[in-house]
A and B are shown apart, each in its own frame.
Chain A
Amino acid sequence: MNFDLVALSVRITCIAVLMMLPIGTALAYWMARGKPFPGKTAIETLLMLPMVLPPTVVGFGLLLLLGKGTTFGFWLNETMKISLLFTWQGAAIAGSVMALPLYVKSAATAFSAVDRDFLDTGRLMGASEWRLFRTVTIPLSRSGIAAGLSLAFARALGEFGATLMVAGSIPGRTQTMPLALYEAVQSGQDSEANLIAIALVFTAFGLLSLVSRWERMS
């Protein structure tokens, strides 16, 4: 157990949430305000799949997507020269996929709870949709977004199964706290496992208190 382990976990978690945030927000807005069409519910359910499937299965899917074995993966690796397997960036992608549904679900609920009258008033006054989104929808949905963010941070920080599949468990490179904890328990190093568990709890406190501070501030 050392400080690097915590730093790496925090970095991977933060990047995972940052990557997920714009995509998740757009998806949530679309789910809340987008016009219904046949198959919308099906797509929404598809987005929730990472929560339904065991993380290892999601990880296996990502492994296929990012590895050279599939057409897309081959193009990504050979043509674009982007190799994400066994990198911390790969771990961040795994974390963000696992965190996405949790964030999208709470953000979408918050977005759809915003009173349409406010939006219509804004439109009458000539505000653009983007401006309405920034100055009306987001501020009014703050607690929902914060709740979603907390869940996303918690999920990304605790991510284990998908990360192990995509990024392996290389100490100092891709090994996050949950992976190190698992290895310590597996090899019977109980005192080290306890230490990592305590560090994990404190890191969770730190990250989640940042989110609630943002909620109070804005």
Chain B
Amino acid sequence: MRMILTVIGTILLVKSASARSVELLVGAASSLKESVSEVCKSFEASHPQVKILVTFAASGILMAQVKQGAPIDVIACASTEEVERLATIHLVNKSQISDFVGNRLVLIAGQSSPVTSLNNLMLARHIAISNPRTVPSGRYAVNTLRHQKLLPALEGRLVYGENVRQALTTVESGDAEAGFVYATDALSSQKVRVIWTAQPGIDHEPIVYRAAVVSASSHAALSAEFLRYLNSPLAQRIFKKFGFTQIWAQKRAS
């Protein structure tokens, strides 16, 4: 009996009393973990009444969560596609969308790898990339190889990671002689060196991180302020520190 009461109690106990200050929930792409955490701290420092909670997940998962009414106020994705799709079904307001950083795709190699540039990538027996079917960075890598006319020769040597971090780990451990990851990931590791950087917009489509205020947010004004803050000089300096590139900040017309 007590157990049944516990169950009922648990179900009823939803939404515990709100804490002392205003809380904003930011849903951010996994690759933004360190940078957005720091940006949030800096935002909190200038807004003493605000507490920012962050949840990190793959952009696709964040999109599904917003679709189902999860209480996310601001969503920050690793590409433009998710926000675009949310905008078409009016879950984010078109006037509250902002591109805030870019990223680069780089070729990395381990310390003892024979590969030293794109030109002798042939020396690699395995090349680590993310799964191109599910992860944008893997798609960028395949497109880059195709554009460099290396894909037919190297396709058989590609090994897929579930995400970009796995590709990085494979190169770090030496199991793959080279790999394609984001510049931000390469920067976070001391065990790999960047030997070549792809040209966004030429080798592959530009990598743009897009954020938006969720229409259902109960803190619309504050969320909009946070969205603007992502493009502030202070936040941009933090993003730059973690290896993100600046993009021409543009708020698209509604």
Contact = CB atoms under 8 A, between A and B. Distances in A.
B90 interface: no
Interface of A: 15, 18-19, 21-22, 56, 60, 63-64, 66-69, 73, 77, 82-87, 89, 92, 164-165, 168-174, 183, 185-188
A174 B7 CA distance: 18
A56 B131 CA distance: 17
Contact of A84 (B14, B57, B189): B14
Nearest to A184: B33
Contacts of B69: 67-69, 73, 77, 85
B33 A92 contact: no
A186 B55 CA distance: 14
B70 A86 contact: yes
Interface string B19-60: 000000101001001100000000000000000011111000
Interface of B: 3-4, 6-7, 10-15, 25, 27, 30, 33-34, 53-57, 61, 64-65, 67-72, 163, 165, 188-189
B57 A169 contact: yes
A86 B53 CA distance: 11
Contact of A19 (B7, B163, B165): B7
Contacts of A188: 165, 188-189
A188 B30 CA distance: 12
Contact of A85 (B34, B61, B68, B165): B68
Contact of B65 (A82, A85, A89, A171): A85
Given A15-B10, A188-B165, A170 B188 contact: no
B71 A83 contact: yes
B10 A186 contact: no
28 contacts: A15-B6, A15-B10, A18-B6, A19-B6, A22-B3, A63-B68, A67-B65, A67-B69, A67-B70, A69-B68, A69-B69, A77-B69, A85-B68, A85-B69, A86-B25, A86-B55, A86-B70, A87-B14, A89-B11, A89-B14, A165-B61, A165-B64, A168-B65, A168-B70, A170-B55, A171-B53, A171-B54, A186-B165
Contacts of B30: 183, 186
B57 A82 contact: no
Interchain residue pairs A-B with the least CB separation, the first 8:
A67-B68, A68-B69, A168-B55, A85-B70, A187-B33, A69-B68, A67-B69, A63-B68
Contacts of A86: 25, 55, 65, 70-72
B43 to A, nearest CB: 16
Given A63-B64, A165-B61, A170 B54 contact: yes
